[in-house]
Every structure is written in C-alpha cells, then in structure tokens.
Amino acid sequence: MMASLPTGYRALVLGASGAIGGALVAALQADPRCAGVVGLSRRPGARGEPAVDLADPASLAAAAAALRPQAPFHLVVCATGALHLPVQTDQGPALRAPEKRLAELDATNLAQAFAVNATGPALVIQQFHDLLPLRERALFGVLSARVGSISDNRKGGWYSYRASKAALNMLLRTAAIEVARRRPLAVLAALHPGTVASKLSAPIIGDTEATTPDAAARHLLAVLDGLPAEGASGCFRAWDGSEIPW
C-alpha cells in the first residue's frame, strides 16, 4: 500500500501494456487506499482510456487534456523504455542488439534510442506533471537504468542505451527543480527496476537470475512510497531503495 499518499489517491501508469507497467497497474488496483488507476498504452483502453505514443507529442498532450477532469493524480509512473529497438533488415523487421563497439554506432540508431528512452519520457513529464496536486504529496516515477550512471560505467558498450538513460536522468533532475516551484510536495524520481524477466529482456539475460514483473512493481512502489518529502526530488534510486551515483 502507498501509505505516504492520501487515502483515496488516484494513480496513472504510462506503458501499461508492458511487463512492469501491467504489474504496476495490478498492484495499484489491489491497494484498498487507491481510488482508481488509469493505465495508458499505445492502444485505447477498454474503458475509454486514450492511446499514447511517446514518439507522438500530440498524443501525449491530448491524453493529458482528456484526463484533466480526473485530476489530481497523486502517483504517476512512466514505465517505458527499450534496449532492443526495431530495425529493418533484408529478412524483414528485427530487433537491434545494443552496440558493443564504437564501430557499431549509427546516427539514426542513436537518435531512435534517445527518442524512446529520453525525449519521450521527458515529454511525459512535461504534459502530465500538471495533473499532480498542488499542495499534497505526489510521486512521479520514471523508469531509468543503472547503466545510465556515468560514474558507475566500468564495462563500456551499450552506447546508445547508456547515453539515452543518462540523458533521461538529467532531464528528470532538471524538471524536478522546476516542478518544485509550484508543487513543493511533489517528488520526482528516476528508478532502476533491476533485472526483470520479460519477453523483451529474454535475449540479454538468458539464464541470469531475474525478478518477476510483479515483484519489481512492488519494489518500485515501495521505493517511491518511502522517498522523504524533502531533499529527494530528482533522485536516482535502485529497486531496493539504494541511491545510484550519477
């Protein structure tokens, strides 16, 4: 349960069709203190939820406008991002593996990674932070990744994914400063969910031990719920609540 939020709080999850996003929606629906949760994805919802596409700023603006009558939302989570991005090959559509060497860098691929992992979530913050309450505690989480830490980069590789997640961290930290001017009780956080078992992660984790989406969702919500009211906004936290260096 999100004990730090008011009883009857409302929640919003973007990326609800993904493994973590879907688990977040389910966990919030199970919280008796939650009055309602709206899950958004690329397809319209069964209850009339608007479709959103992070590559389409107009869809984000339209969704925020459509949900404004239901505001305020005390909890917003952007559970989106991609390590493997689509690419067209001679054999048809495929997923591109992360770059391991400088020789594999491609300008188009870099731009696509930034669009999915940095620009899109930043526009989510831009459009949806206004749905947070003005004078009550509110939480806004965005899925980042530990590999987006510049100081913790010891293995190299994964150029576009690392760089796009590092950019996301800076965008969120900068937004947190501005949001605090009108919403001093709002806490924004970049979150590393850990290694989560899903169809998208299967190609890279193999037999590596991974947590389930349901467990990851519970961990992330617990981290958000435990963030202090002062001094935490704009932070970068792992699934266990530990701070990750920038």
* HEC-encoded secondary structure of 66-109: HHHHHCCCCEEEECCCCCCEEEEECCEEEEECCCCCHHHCCHHH
Q: What pTM, to 2 d.p., does this model score?
A: 0.94
Residues 143-153 have a mean pLDDT of 96
Tokens of 102: 């400088």
- What's the rounded mean pLDDT across residues 82-92? 79
Mean pLDDT of 21-29: 98
Arithmetic mean of pLDDT, 212-240: 96
68: exposed, middle or buried (Cβ count in 10 Å: 0-12, 13-18, 19+): exposed
Between CA 68 and CA 61 the distance in angstroms is 11
Band (pLDDT 50/70/90 cuts) for residue 205 is: low
pLDDT given for residue 173 in this prediction: 98
- Output the pLDDT for position 116: 95
CA-to-CA distance for 117 and 172, rounded, in angstroms?
12
- CATH number for the segment(s) 9-238: 3.40.50.720
Q: What mean pLDDT do residues 13-19 have?
A: 96
Note the Cα 154 to chain centre separation in Å. Answer: 24
Average pLDDT over residues 182-209: 82
Tell how far CA 233 is from the center of its chain.
15
Among residues 77, 79, 83, 246, the alpha carbon closest in space to that of 169 is found at 246
| Domain regions of the chain by residue span | 9-238
Tell me the pLDDT tens digit for each residue of 104-116: 999 999 999 999 9
Please state, in angstroms and rounded to a whole number, the distance separating the CA atoms of residues 94 and 131: 37
